[in-house]
Chain A
Amino acid sequence: MSRYTALAPADREAMLAEIGVSSVEELFAAIPAELRLERPLDLPQGMPEQDVFAHLRELAERNVSCDDELSFLGGGMYDHYVPALVDMLMSRSEFLTPYTPYQPEISQGGLQVMFEYQTAICELTALPVSNASVYEGPTALASAGYLARLAGGEGRFVVSAGVHPHSLETLRAYARGFGAEVAVVPLRDGVTDLGAWREAVDGATAAVFFQNPNFLGAVEDAQALAAVEGPVVVAAYDPIALGILKPPGECGVDVCVGEGQPLGNRLDFGGPSFGFFAAREEYLRQMPGRIAGETVDVDGRRGFVLTLQTREQHIRREKATSNICTAQALNALAGVVYLSWLGRRGLVELAELLLQRTHYARETLCAIDGVEPLHTQPVIREFAVRLPAPVAEVVERCATRGVNPGLALREENALLVAITEQRSRADIDRLAEVLREAVAA
């Protein structure tokens, strides 16, 4: 008996008697004998809570986290400060332990959070509709592909090479399923090659996909990329950069998706976080996932419900706009609480700070002998530099000095360096010092 089940032997006996059987074994009579596992599972013995804690802590200690080194890793997930109130609210039982609000009368808290979250995402993107979250960034992009497919296009997908490689791979795997061809348009000086883009998009293109800022940190000319006739225009955005970037809804983007981790979510070695998904009004009924809507109760009180459920798998089955059921409600809660904490001015201030510090970091690193920018495009929070020594070795040398200089881009022998508000000028100077010695070694 484990500590999470509450039946004493006497309970079991009384319950078996009520059922009218003499043993628990009898309840499993429907399972044929030849299918029974006639041995215990080959797993370690159960452990008391304190021992499990010690074991999990020991595993944790064998990871080098952002607490243990000066880290400039980014590439889609960023070490932003998560305010204490986010932790506090996420750990409240009332948010932590219910499931999808199938019974709206006792789920107004969660439903209103979804509604507020949707509002915040609409504000960030300047698009009129948002869902209540999908799994994470790359699947959000791939789901936008499925939306484009359902919206009527059997044609191919044209994708900028500036899209996060994980998003591109996920889109490819999804598209292989529903049968869309994927063509990739290369970058030129760090941004999507506009000439090649325009050439690649034709009457048979169902959707186009780009990312802003792109994987190399460069700000794309979203308006130029979105100025294509016909296809659904899908763009993945960094939500923090949206503090100062012209919103996709004003650039001609039809569907804006993105990785929500930077909004109050932990790194968690890659998940759980959330994906956001906003679109033009005409795609409302093709959106994947849950959507909260405002309504009134029988007495006229304002309330919220899951709405437009006829899009969803539990109603529409094979005609559903997505198979998604469980999404990332708790992580989306962290997102909207974080955005409220930043507030209207705070998001702008944060993004402007990153803009300044990132510029400083780029200049400082490029002053090192042999280190040069991989591209010269505007950057907001991340940039790439080419190194004069093998990048893998440079990263290892920096690691011995407690600095993680960024993500190694092996093909370009470059480093992708991310800045957050938690990386001060002194930290950047330290990075430059360690990197200088590492590339010279």
Chain B
Amino acid sequence: MSALSDTRTGARDGRPPGGTGARPLAETAQQRERARTIFEKGAPGRRAFEPPALDVPRVDPDRLLPQRFRRSEPARLPEVSEPEIVRHYVNLSKRNFDLDSGFYPLGSCTMKHNPRLHERVAGLAGHARLHPFQHPGRAQGALELMWRLERALSEISGLPHVSLQPSAGSHGELAGVLLSRAYHEDRGETRTKVLTPDTAHGTNPATVAMAGLEVVKVGTSPDGGVDLDDLRAKADESVACLMLTNPNTLGVFDSNIREIADIVHGVGATLYYDGANLNAIMGITRPGDMGFDIVHFNLHKSFTQPHGGGGPGSGPIAVSDRIEPYLMTPRIVRLEDGSFDLREDGYPKSIGRLRGFQGNYGCFVRAYAYICSLGAEGLRDASETAVLNANYLMARLRAVARYLPPAYERTCMHEFVLSGAPMKRELGIKTLDLAKRLLDHGFHPPTVYFPLLVEEALLIEPTETETRETLDAFADAIRAILAEAEEDSEIARAAPYTTPVRRLDEAGAAKRPVVRQALPAADGS
């Protein structure tokens, strides 16, 4: 008798419809509709855009732009009417799974609900149609909003100075490492190493390399925190910085953080906080109070920006007093009369500018609206509920611990890691197979194969905006998949069955990359 035979099934219809991967199934309507790109639609002469009439005296265009600078053939863009464009992209959109339709427990990405209010306020002409070179005197609302957001992020992080400039978390990391480097160089020190735990996000080591420094990995202790002995052994005067996420990517809060800070500061290095996991601790504890010098925020995670299918994001940073002189420009300053200005001059030690203009302002509007909606109490409630939801889901999944044990047997923060190693060994299905079968149940799978430290890892982050019923349904689906695999593991191995396409040949795609549509040669029309 199966250990899971009493499982509740049918959270969503997760049956392979009428068979398994070994036996080809009837195609769904969406599967029958083969992909055609916008470049394969339309016909010569069709159009959507109607240009305004030429209302100035016409001058021979070749006089204005000499022939040698001109393109000989128009770019081969689509020739389509407005209805064709709308239908094409609306139908394409239906080939996406999205957060508004279903549960998206993608660990480390904080896929929380995106309030539509944010889209409405960001779309107001005063925000959306404000030119970035508008004179600060005529952009006072925007500068005040940015200033208020800076102050709020400062309070949430416990660090006094904020720059909103970076475009995403990884960009905030680059800012942080460059700031750390500038700080040491200003003190006449050349430090070449950055310590990162082996649990770190891939962006951490990639950032260090871009900043011209060397990555040194620090090990993880059996309870999931930083291995203090390893840290002590590696922390010396050549270290510029330690980059840390707390709670880390195992969903574990490192209780030794003060000691870690002492070790790092003891050798004169700085401590960098990767804010990817800030959603666990808002209003509860603050990176600045833990001893961090530099923090980045992921506004698209903790402060809920729609993720857009892979951006935009926004990655502001907060820093301590000793790092402040190096902060990027321009900076927002509040003048004595209460007005606001953007200032570039007067910061001789600044690392300069890391992108154009003032940052992803549209994201600032949304994040600020979110903070206004929640206030101090609501932010704390968000974190508490995120942690409650994660622990609840972890508890519900105890029933399948035989196949999917937690990587660390302890209370988690806002996310947790399961290992699919026993499942692979005993049932012959990998974490990837489980993830693909979840697609048939109508769920976005968790993050898989990260953190690298855990074999066959699943990193699950439910967020605070999901209901208990959703968490139950997800746990039930996992149980159902495992019960099914006990009977016939081939079903999961060949999943998914119901998605617009089934498993794709990724190796082939990388071996013979086709990264654009091949178009017929221009016919000169």
Q: State whether B75 touches A107 (Cβ < 8 A).
A: no
A4 touches B510 (CB 8 A): no
**Which of A19, A109, A120, A312 makes the CB contact (< 8 A) with B391?**
A19
B174 contacts A269, CB within 8 Å?
no
- Contacting residue for A294 out of B27, B38, B467, B514, CB 8 A: B514
Q: For the complex, is A153 an interface residue (Cβ under 8 Å from B)?
A: no
**Whose C-beta in chain B lies nearest to the C-beta of A62?**
B141
Q: Tell me if A342 and B49 are in contact (CB < 8 A).
A: yes
Contact A98 to B309, CB < 8 A, known contacts A65-B125, A345-B47: yes
Knowing A132-B310, A135-B168 touch, does A94 contact B135 (C-beta < 8 A)? Answer: no
From A49, A106, A221, A337, residue with most partner B Cβ within 10 Å? A106
A339 engages B395 (CB within 8 Å): no
| Minimal beta-carbon separation of A424 from chain B (angstroms) | 6
Do B258 and A35 touch across chains, with their CB atoms under 8 A apart? yes
Measured CB to CB, the nearest residue on chain B to A303 is: B501
| A37 to B359 Cα, complex, angstroms | 30
Contact, CB under 8 Å: B85 / A337: yes
**Which among B85, B378, B445, B516 has the highest number of chain A CB atoms within 10 Å?**
B516
Interface string of B102-139 (1 = CB under 8 A from A): 00101001011111010111111111111111110011
B521 contacts A by Cβ under 8 Å: no
Hey, which chain A residues are within 8 Å of B77, CB to CB?
120, 123, 339-340, 342-344, 346-347
A56 adjacent to B124 (CB under 8 Å): yes
By a CB distance below 8 angstroms, the chain A residues around B394 are: 19
Give the CA-CA distance A4 to B115 in the complex, in Å: 8
Contact A309 B382 (CB under 8 A): no
A316-343 to B contact mask, C-beta < 8 Å, 1/0: 1111101111111111010011011111
Assuming the A-B contacts A59-B126, A272-B363, are A178 and B210 also in contact, with contact meaning beta carbons closer than 8 angstroms in the complex?
yes
Among the stretches B4-12, B93-101, B231-239, B419-427, the one at the interface with A is B93-101
In the bound complex, residues from chain B placing their C-beta under 8 Å from that of A327 are 168, 310-312
In the assembly, what is the distance between CA of A32 and CA of B75, in Å? 61
Tell me, yes or no, whether A401 is within 8 Å of chain B by CB.
Answer: no
A129 within 8 A of B: yes
A104→B203 CA distance, assembly (Å): 22
A83 CA / B48 CA spacing, docked (Å): 10
Which single residue of chain B is at the shortest CB-CB distance from A137? B356
Q: Are B392 and A64 in contact (CB under 8 A)?
A: no
Contacts of A115 in B (CB 8 A): 37, 515-517
A166–B362 alpha-carbon span in the complex (Å): 19
Q: Is there an interface contact between A73 and B310, defined as CB atoms closer than 8 Å?
A: no
Q: How far is B58's CA from A359's CA once the two chains are assembled, in angstroms? A: 10
Q: Are B206 and A356 in contact (CB under 8 A)?
A: no
Chain B residues near A269: list those with CB within 8 A. 127, 130-132, 134, 139, 142, 357-358, 361-362
Q: Is the CB of B311 within 8 A of A2?
A: no
**Contacting B127 at CB < 8 Å: which of A83, A268, A316, A331?**
A268
- Whether B92 and A109, one on each chain, are in contact in the complex, defined by CB atoms closer than 8 angstroms, is yes
- Range of interface residues on chain B? 35 or more
Binary contact track B61-78/A, C-beta < 8 Å → 1, others 0: 100111011111011111
Could you mark each residue 37-74 of chain A with 1 if its beta carbon is under 8 Å from any beta carbon of chain B, else 0? 10011111111010011011111111111111001011
Task: Assess the B255–A323 pair: CB atoms within 8 A.
Answer: no
Chain A residue numbers with a CB within 8 Å of B389 are 7, 15
Least CB distance, B148 to chain A, in whole angstroms: 9
Taken together as a complex, chains A and B put the C-alpha atoms of A173 and B435 apart, in Å, by: 41
- A residues 280-316 near B (Cβ < 8 Å) are 284, 290-299, 301-305, 307-310, 312-316
Pair B52/A323 contact, Cβ less than 8 Å: no
The answer to whether B504 and A113 have CB atoms under 8 Å apart is no
A244 contact set on B, CB distance < 8 A: 65, 70-71
Of the A-B pairs whose beta carbons lie under 8 Å apart in the complex, a sample of 18, sorted by A's number, is A31-B253, A43-B371, A44-B376, A76-B356, A85-B85, A95-B98, A96-B306, A105-B439, A136-B355, A173-B354, A269-B357, A271-B355, A293-B510, A307-B510, A320-B205, A323-B170, A323-B206, A343-B47
Q: Apart from A104-B504, A169-B353, A424-B52, what 18 extra A-B contacts exist at CB < 8 Å? A: A30-B253, A42-B376, A52-B117, A64-B139, A75-B133, A77-B132, A77-B133, A94-B93, A104-B501, A105-B439, A243-B75, A266-B128, A270-B356, A294-B514, A304-B35, A340-B38, A341-B82, A346-B77
